[in-house]
Amino acid sequence: MKHITLHIGIRNVDFGENVTVIEPSNIYGCKIGSNTFIGPFVEIQKGVVIGKKCKIQSHSFICELVTIGNNCFVGHGVMFVNDLFATGGPAMENKELWRSTNIGNNVSIGSSATILPVNICDDVVIGAGAVVTKNIDEPGIYAGNPARLLRVFDLKK
């Protein structure tokens, strides 16, 4: 019987300046901007781009095809999804079915939120436990399952 052992670690990462990573973490083939913090037990997959001055808390999963802007916060246990099971099951052998997620600048995502393939504009707060199923085009606070707008931000203050 053939046995394959894969080791976690940090491989082929393009780090900006002053990035902190707490191990154990599984981070590979991605780009992480300057002054960003990555907590323990985080997986960041290949092709992910994380901006400057971000904080990614423990136990979060950031899959391929995710881009996160600058000054963002990702709470504990946040899960990003790129496969919507369009054929009734996982598209492991057909990555063309995967979809991308783009997070703007100044976005805070609360603990245990799930982010499906969507676009989220700048200046948004996603509540803890929220499930984001649709694009968010207006700055504000969103929560629930599915996430919905609770309050609009007045950015002119």
79 is written with which tokens?
């899960």
pTM score, whole prediction: 0.94
- Average pLDDT of the residues of the chain: 94
What's the pLDDT tens digit per position in 16-54? 999 999 999 999 999 999 999 999 999 999 999 999 999
Domains defined along the chain, listed by start: 12-85+94-152 (2.160.10.10)
Q: Which residue in 66, 82, 83 sits closest to 32, CA to CA? A: 66
Q: Which residue in 89, 74, 47 sits closest to 132, CA to CA? A: 74
Q: How far is CA 152 from the centre of its chain?
A: 23
Low-confidence stretches of the chain (pLDDT < 50) are none
